[in-house]
């Protein structure tokens, strides 16, 4: 077996790519959970299995939720002890990949959905398909969601929550322009032509008012994948082939090129989008339409209390052309292929992602749970505006391309959007160059794994 050697080089290569542009590492914070004792204060006499669990440290509510769930789990399973380590986000993936490559991974690990393929290809994860079929209640999770955690027909990760994006619009700017407001029905999305028409009528450069921010500008590659891939899908295009091995036949499709051209025209032909916006342009009433996420609702409520939902702004489903589409997939739990306690690890992962676990987790964080049954229990998730995010994920969600070269692919697509928009490069030429870069990255990755 040459797995350890090839995995080491592949994982360190990806780790270096992930580190590019990261700010100075923060000091690692380690959360420890104490052993759960029985009623008289003594640890149970049964043999206790200790499982190591690594995750990226989140916000205060996420950290509280994990702490709470682990204590609850150990109360119900006194023979399983969870030793949890939480690392700063900027460090986490590099630390995890290094641990996997050097043969010392944790028993259980949190992995972001787009990173699945690289870990699975390196044989770092235990397939969970059989376990899910026995007692994972797959029928309670959207099929499209589970597709994002499946590689070569095997499920490798257990999802917990979703985040999502939608179209935010300024009600008063719409009314001043004599525009009809978009529908709040998650199944009745505006077309991009309707959005363009509204953006043109709202746009007023003399007053510093912009028509639209279509996909959060030109940020990092991860943001590109989350905000710009849906536009490609909405036009009927794609980024990679179904096997995740090549961009040929997908990125160069007429539909994908149409999406790229339309995006560039928003900036250059119609000039309703800007390369730079004022800080918080939307809540500051300088932006008519923006594509943003669930987190924006909390940001506006906390920082702009005079900018009211339903009075000053509204939320609508993402625009469409030939179909509705939104990116799904978030952080999920995987089990190391090297664990010596696979049954105990599945007991933990299955409980954390079960109805009981997700009810507790979402009640603390407010995040959207992946399970239908759990989402139904939260009234706010079934009412405007959060129902838009929930229904979009459940009915129109699709995974970002499942490929072991996800970072390199997304970086190439990020550059592609910049080239056709900022540099005004010919779409055909820019697409061809992007395909060459992506396909070379895949070929190189396969060469490393075969050594």
What's the whole-model pTM score? 0.89
| CATH code given to domain 3-163+330-392 | 3.40.190.10
Per residue in 278-309, pLDDT (tens digit) is 999 999 999 999 999 999 999 999 999 999 99
Q: What does the domain layout of the chain look like in residue ranges?
A: 3-163+330-392, 165-327+405-450
pLDDT surpassing 70 at residue 42? no
Q: How far apart, in whole angstroms, are the C-alpha atoms of residue 286 and residue 386? A: 24
Per residue in 163-176, pLDDT (tens digit) is 899 999 999 999 99
pLDDT surpassing 50 at residue 24? no
Per residue in 117-164, pLDDT (tens digit) is 999 999 999 999 999 999 999 999 999 999 999 999 999 999 999 989
Say whether domain 165-327+405-450 belongs to CATH 3.40.50.1260: no
Long-range interactions of 425-432: CB distance < 8 A, separation 24+ = 427/257, 427/260, 427/261, 427/264, 428/257, 430/260, 431/251, 431/252, 431/256, 431/257, 431/260, 432/252
- pLDDT of amino acid 217: 87
3-163+330-392 against 165-327+405-450: fold identical? yes
Q: What's the pLDDT band for 355 if we cut at 50, 70, 90?
A: very high
Tokens describing residue 432: 């061809």
């Amino acid at each position: 077996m040459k797995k350890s050697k090839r995995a080491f080089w592949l994982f360190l290569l990806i780790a270096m790519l992930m580190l590019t542009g990261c700010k100075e590492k923060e000091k690692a914070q380690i959360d420890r959970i104490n052993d759960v004792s029985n009623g008289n204060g003594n640890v149970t006499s049964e043999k206790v299995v200790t499982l190591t669990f690594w995750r990226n440290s989140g916000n205060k509510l996420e950290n509280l939720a994990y702490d709470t769930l682990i204590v609850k789990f150990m109360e119900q399973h006194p023979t399983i002890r969870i030793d949890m380590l939480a690392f700063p986000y900027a460090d986490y993936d590099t630390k995890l990949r290094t641990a996997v490559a050097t043969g010392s991974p944790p028993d259980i690990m949190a992995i972001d959905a787009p990173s699945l393929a690289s870990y699975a290809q390196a044989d770092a994860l235990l397939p969970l398909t059989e376990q899910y079929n026995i007692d994972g209640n797959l029928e309670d999770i959207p099929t499209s969601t589970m597709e994002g955690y499946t590689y070569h027909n095997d499920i490798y990760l257990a999802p917990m929550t979703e985040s999502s994006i939608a179209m935010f619009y300024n009600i008063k700017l719409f009314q001043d322009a004599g525009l009809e407001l978009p529908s709040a029905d998650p199944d009745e999305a505006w077309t991009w032509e309707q959005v363009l028409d509204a953006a043109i009528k709202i746009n007023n450069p003399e007053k510093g008012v912009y028509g639209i921010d279509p996909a959060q500008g030109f940020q990092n590659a991860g943001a590109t994948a989350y905000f710009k891939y849906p536009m490609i899908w909405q036009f009927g295009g794609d980024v990679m082939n179904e096997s995740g091995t090549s961009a040929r036949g997908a990125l160069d499709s007429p539909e994908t090129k149409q999406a790229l051209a339309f995006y560039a025209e928003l900036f250059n032909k119609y000039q309703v989008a800007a390369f730079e916006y004022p800080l918080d342009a939307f809540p500051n009433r300088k932006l008519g339409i923006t594509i943003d996420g669930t987190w924006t609702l909390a940001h506006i409520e906390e920082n702009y209390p005079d900018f009211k939902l339903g009075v000053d702004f509204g939320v609508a489903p993402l625009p469409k052309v030939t179909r509705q589409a939104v990116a799904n997939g978030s952080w999920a739990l995987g089990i190391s292929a090297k664990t010596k306690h696979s049954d105990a690890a599945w007991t933990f992962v299955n409980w954390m992602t079960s109805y009981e676990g997700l009810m507790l987790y979402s009640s603390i964080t407010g995040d959207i749970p992946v399970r239908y049954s759990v989402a139904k229990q939260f009234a706010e998730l079934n009412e405007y505006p959060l129902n838009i995010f929930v229904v979009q994920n459940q009915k129109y969600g699709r995974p970002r391309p499942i490929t072991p070269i996800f970072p390199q692919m997304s970086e190439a697509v990020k550059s592609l959007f910049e080239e056709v928009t900022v540099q005004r490069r010919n779409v055909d030429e820019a697409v061809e160059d992007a395909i060459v870069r992506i396909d070379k990255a895949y070929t190189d990755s396969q060469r490393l794994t075969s050594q």
